[in-house]
Structure 1
Amino acid sequence: GLADTAKKNFGGGNTAWEEKTLSKYESSEIRLVEIIENLCDSSNFECNNMVEEHEELIEKWWFKLKKKYPDLFKWFCIETIEVCCPTGTYGPDCLACHGGSERPCHGNGHCDGDGTRGGDGSCSCKKEYTGQFCLDCSSGYFSSLRNETHSVCTACHAACKTCTGSSNKDCQDCKEGWIKNEDGACVDLDECAASPCKDHQYCLNTDGSYSCK
């Protein structure tokens, strides 16, 4: 809201009039109303309800405290009505999320309660990652980078169930429909060689599978 209304442009040739009008608008009640109207998404009932309930506080900040506390979100939501937390923290005391407030879940997941007074700070990892801090790799992925603060997990080759690298030679186990050859690489198993289809059908072999047409 603040940023949007700050961009309002009273285009025209009279610069002195424009500056005077803009300076009045800068701290006017009209702008305050516009800011309040834009604080929440129209469909967010809880947010709109909260703003309505504390409208007097926002007005107090606008006319008396704005210069001292320029960050409305921090003053209003975190410090005054205490329903929010700074990004990367959670719960009643705004504790750091698992993995730290700078990069919750080491950047590989979402912290439960992030930015709110709720949640437990635990991590919901992206599909590539697992573990309490989203540092370990899920099945089907291998670690391509790992140190104390960063972990990058990369997908295995399509033939691998588990792996240590990106090629079909790095498979620890082959997926169903694939088989290890003499070089130790997982290659497609030709299911059609065993004639699995009915007499009137033909067999189409595909990577890791087959179909009867």
Structure 2
Amino acid sequence: MRYCPGRAPLAVPLVLCAAVLLLPALGAAERRRLACSTCRGIADRFNQGLADTAKKNFGGGNTAWEEKTLSKYESSEIRLVEIIENLCDSSNFECNNMVEEHEEHIEKWWFKLKKKYPDLFKWFCIEMIEVCCPAGTYGPDCLACRGGSERPCHGNGRCDGDGTRGGDGSCSCNKEYTGDFCLDCSNGYYSTLKNETHSVCTACHAACKTCTGSSNKDCQDCKEGWIKNEEAACVVCDASCVGCTGEGSDKCKVCASGYIKEDEKCTDIDECNLPEKVCIRENEDCVNTRGSYKCVCSEGFEEKDGTCVQTVKTGEEIETVATEPSPGGHDDL
């Protein structure tokens, strides 16, 4: 097997050279985040390995013998090796490197400290090799996130670096919230509860850009396409308008597509009466709609594969037509 040059004493397969060379390019904060993520993955895979090997090779026969043998296997080096062998994918350099570098710590925990410190992640990743922080803290010194470690960002956002040795502890707020501590409401939301530790923001009425309450009368500013009426409530502009100064088709700033200004009002264009036909397929009629039009097959025709074809009558209909009396009230002889 060929190895990356200059990596002694740790032998790194050639396929991992790229990963090794890329690590120095990462910033210090990114490397710390990666280290914590890697360690968390190792702890999770170890716990999965414990579950997978809990009853391995047992399950029938001499129960007393099995219990005695299983008791030895539970804390054996054989079981530890089986678990460690499956902690990392072969292509994951960071994982393999961390396990190799700290295998003695894992062995020490397995044989001597597991009962006293049952949480491998906490003991190994946070306390022993110090690549992660407790939840709600961040950075090299595991400082409390903004809003406190119990409820980072007051429960309304994500703390940068939460649980890692990276990040700066700043808050990325959920869409409803804004501000350094995620205690203020974003545009389109209003506060239903706010104190020093809690904030609850609720969506405004669909008419409101900003608001103080839940109805369209509580809008501070109307959304585009809405306007305040005489009662100071935001109401939707007429369908004929793009923007308006009031209610009705005579208050449009600009007429919407499919409308034209006539007598100071935006009125519907009847596309079906335009000089140039808009429905051009054979056996097709035009039906005007508000702001638009539809092309439909003429009576006695139906849509099929993009064309209007004559409706095929059923046998019952044909028989009815054949027995109908001829014009004038006399049957055909």
TM-score (norm 1): 0.83
Task: Name the CA distance, whole Å, in 1 between partners of 2:91 and 2:221.
Answer: 49
Deviations 1:74-132 (A, max 9, x none): 22111221111111111111111111111111111111111111111111111111111
Q: Which amino acid aligns with 2:50?
A: T
User: Unmatched 5+ residue regions in structure 2?
Assistant: 1-45, 241-248, 259-268, 273-287, 294-333
**2:47 matched to which residue of 1?**
2
**2:111 matched to which residue of 1?**
63
Instruction: Give the 5 Å matches for 1:44-83.
Output: 45-83=93-131
Does residue 27 in structure 1 map to residue 75 in structure 2? yes
Distance 1:15 1:50, change over 3 A: same
Deviations 1:51-80 (A, max 9, x none): 232122211221222233332222211122
What is the aligned length?
207
**2:257 matched to which residue of 1?**
197
Deviates more, 1:126-135 or 1:46-55: 46-55
Q: Which amino acid aligns with 1:70?
A: P
Task: Name the CA distance, whole Å, in 1 between partners of 2:225 and 2:122.
Answer: 56
Instruction: Give the 5 Å matches for 1:1-213.
Output: 1-2=46-47, 5-6=50-51, 8-9=54-55, 10-36=58-84, 45-192=93-240, 193=249, 195-198=255-258, 199=269, 200=271
Q: 8 Å contact 1:6–1:26 — kept in the other structure?
A: no
Q: 8 Å contact 1:83–1:116 — kept in the other structure?
A: yes
Q: Which amino acid aligns with 2:47?
A: L
Deviates more, 1:93-102 or 1:147-156: 147-156
Distance 1:38 1:133, change over 3 A: farther
- Offset, 1:197: 2.7
SS in 2 for 1:74: helix
Distance 1:6 1:65, change over 3 A: same
Deviations 1:152-177 (A, max 9, x none): 11111111000111221211111000
**1:208 matched to which residue of 2?**
none
User: Unmatched 5+ residue regions in structure 1?
Assistant: 205-210
Task: Name the CA distance, whole Å, in 2 between partners of 1:143 and 1:42.
Answer: 51
Deviates more, 1:72-81 or 1:137-146: 72-81
Task: Name the CA distance, whole Å, in 2 between partners of 1:118 and 1:125.
Answer: 19
Task: Name the CA distance, whole Å, in 2 between partners of 1:30 and 1:91.
Answer: 37
Task: Name the CA distance, whole Å, in 2 between partners of 1:41 and 1:130.
Answer: 41
SS in 1 for 2:192: strand
Task: Name the CA distance, whole Å, in 2 between partners of 1:163 and 1:45.
Answer: 53
The Cα RMSD (Å) is: 2.6
- Offset, 1:42: 7.8
> What fraction of aligned residue pairs are identical, expressed as a percent?
81
Deviations 1:167-205 (A, max 9, x none): 21211111000111222221110141354335439775x
The structure with the larger Rg is 2
- Offset, 1:46: 3.1
- Offset, 1:11: 2.5
